[in-house]
Amino acid sequence: MVEAVQVRGSDHPADWWLMRPDGRIECRLCPRLCKLHDGQRGFCFVRRRAGDAMVLETYGRSSGFCIDPIEKKPLNHFLPGTSVLSFGTAGCNLGCRFCQNWDMSKARELDRLTEEASPETIAAAAARLGCRSVAFTYNDPVIFAEYAIDVARACRRAGVKTVAVTAGYITPEARPAFFAQMDAANVDLKGFTEEFYHRLCFAELQPVLDTLVYLRNETGVWFEVTTLLIPGQNDGDAELDRASDWFAAHLGPDVPWHFSAFHPDFKMLTTPRTPPETLSRAREMALSKGLRYVYTGNVHDRIGGSTWCPSCGALLVERDWFELGAYGLDGGRCKACGFEVAGRFERTPGRWGARRQPVHLG
Ligand code: SF4
């Protein structure tokens, strides 16, 4: 546990904790179940014991807002071509050595959270800016669940959708309240063995698999899965074969799966970039198991980045990175053969393009 240091900010009452017989408070939000004495912070850094209660320090505070293409989350089957108002806070409940957002997720300086925004302010801004959704992203929204849930509620009142970009590292008792407010999610499946999660994420695989199965079987949340393929760590044929079998058996053929390219970052600076062939090999493996929508990401790859009709093979949504090209869907149906593609589609795609646009809500 991390000892408290002096930081600016207001404490918000936290949910999902209990007082243990030994006098420590146990946080029940994520599978770490941090056990805290007064003044101690959890592993995620932003949840702290204050007296005989837990508090969240990042409620209402953000590291900044940006309008992104929805394809960047990545979500390929959720309102394609639309813009999403994206933000994150600080901290994370995983400890990935390959973190690609470490400046925010590992932030220990809460003073860097410069933007203050109420749930209503965010929902109103999204509507005003023409964003169809708000995304909790850049760092994991599970650790700021109380804030994310309130923002999502405000968004629903304003007719704006919400997207959680998450590692899915959350307890069974917190899952329902969190995902009940979300319209869509992208869940990281970072590797396929407990050994990988222990060694490189300082976490466990099984709770992530449980979250995926929960989303599939017990919610109406539209979700897609992302796996960052790291050379020599999680890209072996045997591992990909096993993972694809599990995916097909537990999530079915219609959940999209994104294989994205690693670039050297954080504590893995000597590991090389993922070769495009590795992404294509993983995609082929997953397709061979009957999965219908498997994508490559973080590379220019028209074949692997586009959506193809599982029935007649027609090009349905052409993509080059985050830019849409030809569009062969009418609503959610293939224009050529009428096959219904899983996802949330409107009659025509959005026209946001690949732009990223920072915005200030103040
Ligand atoms: S949410 Fe934070 S404090 Fe709670 S168990 Fe997870 S890492 Fe620990």
**pLDDT digit string, tens, across residues 160-202:** 999 999 999 999 999 999 999 999 999 999 999 999 999 999 9
Query: Tell me, what's the pLDDT at 116?
Result: 87
pLDDT along the chain (362 residues), means of 10: 45 97 98 97 96 96 94 97 96 87 62 81 97 96 98 98 98 98 98 95 97 98 97 95 98 98 80 93 98 95 97 97 95 97 96 94 80
Tokens 């053969």 -> residue: 337
174: Cβ below 6 Å to ligand 1?
no
Query: Tell me, what's the pLDDT at 106?
Result: 58
Alpha carbon distance 295, 130 (integer Å): 27
Query: Tell me, what's the pLDDT at 298?
Result: 87
CA of 27 to the centre of ligand 1 (A): 6
- Cα–chain-centroid distance for residue 178? 13
Query: Tell me, what's the pLDDT at 63?
Result: 86
143: Cβ below 6 Å to ligand 1?
yes
Backbone φ and ψ for 320, nearest 5 degrees, come out as -125, 105
Alpha carbon distance 299, 165 (integer Å): 20
CA of 254 to the centre of ligand 1 (A): 32
| Residue identifier of the C-alpha nearest atom 4 of ligand 1 | 27
CA of 34 to the centre of ligand 1 (A): 6
In this structure, the number of other CB atoms found within 10 A of the CB of residue 223 comes to: 25
42: Cβ below 6 Å to ligand 1?
yes
